[in-house]
Amino acid sequence: MNELLKTIIKNNRHWTSEGKVATYIPGLSNANPDALGICVTNLNGDEYCAGDFDTKFTVQSISKVVTLLLAILDQGKDKVFSKVGMEPTADAFNSMLTLENRNSHRPINPMINAGAIVTVSMVAGGSCDEAFNRILEFTRKITGNPEININESVYLSEKETGNRNRALAYFMKSTGAIEGNVEEVLDVYFRQCSIEATCKDIARIGAMLANDGILPWSGEEVVPKSVARIVKSIMATCGMYDASGKFAVHIGIPAKSGVGGGILASVPGKMGIGVLGPALDSIGNSIGGIKVLEELSRDMDLSIF
């Protein structure tokens, strides 16, 4: 497996020159656009890595998977999906169009920014600090990495420049989609996006989901099978923003991307995959990471379809 992964990284590294790192969050602009790495964790807990797999990056929208899991555990699926939908979108991840034109009281899915902000508002906690600490501790648990923390400079950068997310959040507050203090909800959202991880960390999250909520390295069930399956389904249909359909056709694996360059993928019953490639395509997905996953899926016949 290690040799296969090394070959795939080598075959696809040139794609990084076709993309650009995210700059709309200033703290992300320092990422190395040439970085490309992958880790695979199977359901026995065995791990295989290649390329720049130990490079740290902020998970950004990959954190939406974690908060969706927590929100469902805290509130139940019926309440969560009364506040946020589960349908794919053809609009950008930070678009306001569907809120204004289609369904003002319920964002279209929890993998776009509007839906994720509503989801964050449903994570239990007596304060924003308590809610975020629950997200952080849950992330540490499902990655098996107690050292995970936030990148403070990226967090402050996101908080300072996140005016579009503020516009989304205040709009949703006005329609009743968000309960509670908007700035506190946003602070949790900005902090969760700034959690720093590696390919190995997100591969382990993918492996837990692939194993129906059971940690492969300990056998502990952290998420009920039914909840893990809901989240994998939403990843498969909505996790790659408005490129989710194309990703399903060419790669066919439940996945969630982030503008930090990471992609978390989960092959049900087989493995979790973590990929990093900070150079992004025009939609906001890792251009090299997608090519790596496409070759891996083809070589190992991983498509779920």
Asked if 184 and 128 count as a contact pair (C-beta separation under 8 A), the reply is yes
Same domain, 151 and 46: no
Same domain, 48 and 77: no
Domain span including residue 235: 2-57+198-299
Q: Given this model, what pLDDT does residue 176 score?
A: 87
Of 197, 211, 213, nearest to 264 by C-alpha is 197
- Give catalytic residues, as residue numbers: 61, 64, 189, 241, 259
Q: Is residue 37 part of a domain?
A: yes
Q: Is residue 118 part of a domain?
A: yes
CA distance 88 to 242: 8
- Domain count within the chain: 2
CB atoms < 10 A from the CB of 14, how many?
12
Q: Given this model, what pLDDT does residue 73 score?
A: 97
Pairing assessment for the beta strands 271-276 and 37-42 based on DSSP bridges: antiparallel
Asked if 107 and 177 count as a contact pair (C-beta separation under 8 A), the reply is yes
Token pair 């990495």: residue: 145
CA distance 281 to 90: 16
Q: Given this model, what pLDDT does residue 95 score?
A: 61
Of 129, 231, 113, nearest to 172 by C-alpha is 113
Same domain, 17 and 95: no
Same domain, 50 and 108: no
Asked if 157 and 27 count as a contact pair (C-beta separation under 8 A), the reply is yes
* Residue-level pLDDT, tens digit, the chain, 305 residues: 999 999 999 999 999 999 999 998 888 999 999 999 999 999 999 999 999 999 999 999 999 999 999 999 999 999 999 999 888 765 656 566 666 666 556 788 999 999 999 999 999 998 999 999 999 999 999 999 999 999 999 999 999 998 999 999 998 898 888 988 999 999 999 999 999 999 999 999 999 999 999 999 999 999 999 999 999 999 999 999 889 999 999 999 999 999 999 999 999 999 999 999 999 999 999 999 999 999 999 999 999 99
Q: Is residue 140 part of a domain?
A: yes
Task: Tell me which of 193, 218, 237 is where a domain ends.
Answer: 193
CA distance 235 to 221: 20
Q: Given this model, what pLDDT does residue 49 score?
A: 98
Domain with residue 107: its CATH number is 3.40.710.10
Helices (H), the chain: 2-12, 63-75, 77-83, 97-101, 113-121, 128-143, 152-161, 163-175, 182-193, 199-210, 225-238, 244-250, 287-300
Of 12, 31, 56, 6, nearest to 291 by C-alpha is 12
Q: Is residue 305 part of a domain?
A: no
Same domain, 66 and 49: no
Same domain, 44 and 75: no
Asked if 9 and 53 count as a contact pair (C-beta separation under 8 A), the reply is no
Same domain, 269 and 148: no
Name the percent of the chain in helix, strand, coil, to the closest 5: 50, 10, 35
Q: What is the pTM of this model?
A: 0.95
Same domain, 52 and 15: yes
Same domain, 181 and 229: no
Q: Is residue 187 part of a domain?
A: yes
Q: Is residue 51 part of a domain?
A: yes
Task: Tell me which of 159, 193, 227 is where a domain ends.
Answer: 193
Same domain, 68 and 144: yes
Asked if 64 and 110 count as a contact pair (C-beta separation under 8 A), the reply is yes
Q: Given this model, what pLDDT does residue 159 score?
A: 93
CA distance 34 to 220: 37
Task: Tell me which of 150, 166, 193 is where a domain ends.
Answer: 193
Asked if 232 and 226 count as a contact pair (C-beta separation under 8 A), the reply is no
Q: Is residue 128 part of a domain?
A: yes
Same domain, 189 and 207: no
Same domain, 53 and 117: no
